[in-house]
Structure 1
């Protein structure tokens, strides 16, 4: 059965000539402009009954435009049933409280068992297609061993709307991303901002490095932090800090906090030089840190504007059990 859908419009008289892809972006606003451009190039759009393959073709007053949208093809990753903590879900998006240890997207070495595999299975037919493929739209990611809140789009409209907000990093919109982290040492200033460009390390491709702003490889990155608690209070070795992202680069919080001398507890990649501090922990504290077996980072708050309704949605995730255990041990 062919589930291709067709929509037709006739432009009003006095409509000024404009690019076809821009006109369609207004008329078929549930599809992204890049998706519409692809459909035009595939011959799925006609103007006055004739296929047009150029997205830049000018159309104007009285033009009859028809758009065919083929059914989305199945996603290449296979769906895999998996228990998910779903915080919110509607026809456009889903918010997940991701556990530590879960990879977000299939990649070399992680072709299955990822959040994308789980979402394909969970969402099923409610995935109307991102770019013509029945797949969830990932607009931001969390490291495998970072826990917390993640929003995923189910369709083109939601994907475009959310992607625009995350690309803007909340500078002009309501996007809010707050993380809780346990770091070694006590920051000198209770509040501060780390501004340091980041790039893939040339010496170790698994790591992100601080680079000069003038270096073309570097991408601007900014993290705001606030000291919440010194741990333990009597003779503090560590701190509970809140980090707010102004940008969202790979490993950003981990690299920035290490850069100012306060790497995350449990971070074997960027905090390996702090073993002497770990030796000063009590037996219970060392046990809790070993049991954590990951960086002490949790995406605790996520707020954004719903891409369809415009309503502001804000979600909070409690500290997971492994991180709470370490926090309580450090307070003792």
Structure 2
């Protein structure tokens, strides 16, 4: 089924001043070749300051660029979620694997945001989970609740605990991980978040829940909020997530056939969320049931 299409809007920054529109589109949005962008231009899909563009225009900073992408068939994704908590101000749901939280990467309608807003139009997510990550996503229904939660999200006031199934057998029971996270080169998409000595400070606390002969199940608490933090941090100590197509045992992108950030196959679950209600002040403690696939063979 076709979606409704989408108008991608950007404002030209000073760094692109003087470039031709076609060269800007082809270099900045390399998912399409220059020839493909010229076809989109010839079809009237691109406007510059409201005027249909040809591609030969010389860009000026501050101009409004719009690509009116025609309707397309989106990749398949689950179309369900479980409500974990709801009141007049908040909604928490248990997201399945394979469902993006927000539009992007070819997904527009097949997203958790669209599914939730079909039932609760005023709900907006306070945070996001990766497409393959399962578990709790918290939505705010009011501006007051959203403002308070966003302000406290990456502070000790909000406790976020995940379950992660990782490769290899952990030698210790507890790991405090400080690996900095920053952008590094990626052969398919230009750059990706990964372990980077010059990256941003990051901190996670990983506790062993169980071990098998080849895997370790961790409970991970986030003390900072970097992209793909748990995947990168566990990989950086020699424990990439089982089935992770992106990171190797150093927290860097795989050198042979590296995957994309949204690719699935790994097991990571946002299991617990603890915070004070932004309106009532009461303590809220949420839990999302574990999906199948997590190893609990031998408790430690």
CA contact (8 A) 2:185 2:191 kept: no
- CA shift, 1:272, in A, is 8.4
1:104 aligns with 2:101: yes
What SS does structure 1 have at the residue aligned with 2:217?
strand
Structure 1 residue ranges without an equivalent (≥5): 1-80, 128-135, 274-292
C-alpha root-mean-square deviation of aligned residues, in Å?
2.1
- CA shift, 1:209, in A, is 1.6
- Deviation string 1:132-154 (CA, Å, 9 cap, x unpaired) is xxxx3322111100101111111
The aligned counterpart of 1:83 is 80
Separation (CA, whole Å) in 2 of partners of 1:182 and 1:309: 36
1:137 aligns with 2:124: yes
1:148 aligns with 2:135: yes
Q: 1:263 to 1:315 in 2, by over 3 A?
A: same
Separation (CA, whole Å) in 2 of partners of 1:122 and 1:110: 19
The aligned counterpart of 1:45 is none
Separation (CA, whole Å) in 1 of partners of 2:166 and 2:107: 29
Tell which deviates more after alignment, 150-159 or 203-212: 203-212
What SS does structure 2 have at the residue aligned with 1:201?
strand
Separation (CA, whole Å) in 1 of partners of 2:244 and 2:79: 27
Separation (CA, whole Å) in 1 of partners of 2:79 and 2:245: 28
Stretches of 4+ moved more than 6 A in 1?
none
1:203 aligns with 2:181: no
Structure number with higher helix proportion: 1
- CA shift, 1:207, in A, is 2.9
- Deviation string 1:296-324 (CA, Å, 9 cap, x unpaired) is 11111111111100111001122112x24
Q: 1:106 to 1:82 in 2, by over 3 A?
A: same
Separation (CA, whole Å) in 1 of partners of 2:108 and 2:93: 20
Structure 2 residue ranges without an equivalent (≥5): 1-77, 251-263
- Deviation string 1:91-128 (CA, Å, 9 cap, x unpaired) is 1110001111110001241122101111211103xx2x
Equivalent pairs counted in the alignment come to 206
The aligned counterpart of 2:172 is 189
Q: 1:272 to 1:196 in 2, by over 3 A?
A: closer
1:316 aligns with 2:287: yes
Separation (CA, whole Å) in 1 of partners of 2:205 and 2:101: 25
When normalised by structure 1's length, the TM-score is 0.58
When normalised by structure 2's length, the TM-score is 0.64
CA contact (8 A) 1:106 1:114 kept: yes
- CA shift, 1:271, in A, is 4.2
CA contact (8 A) 2:163 2:271 kept: yes
Q: Rg larger in 1 or in 2?
A: 1
Separation (CA, whole Å) in 1 of partners of 2:208 and 2:127: 25
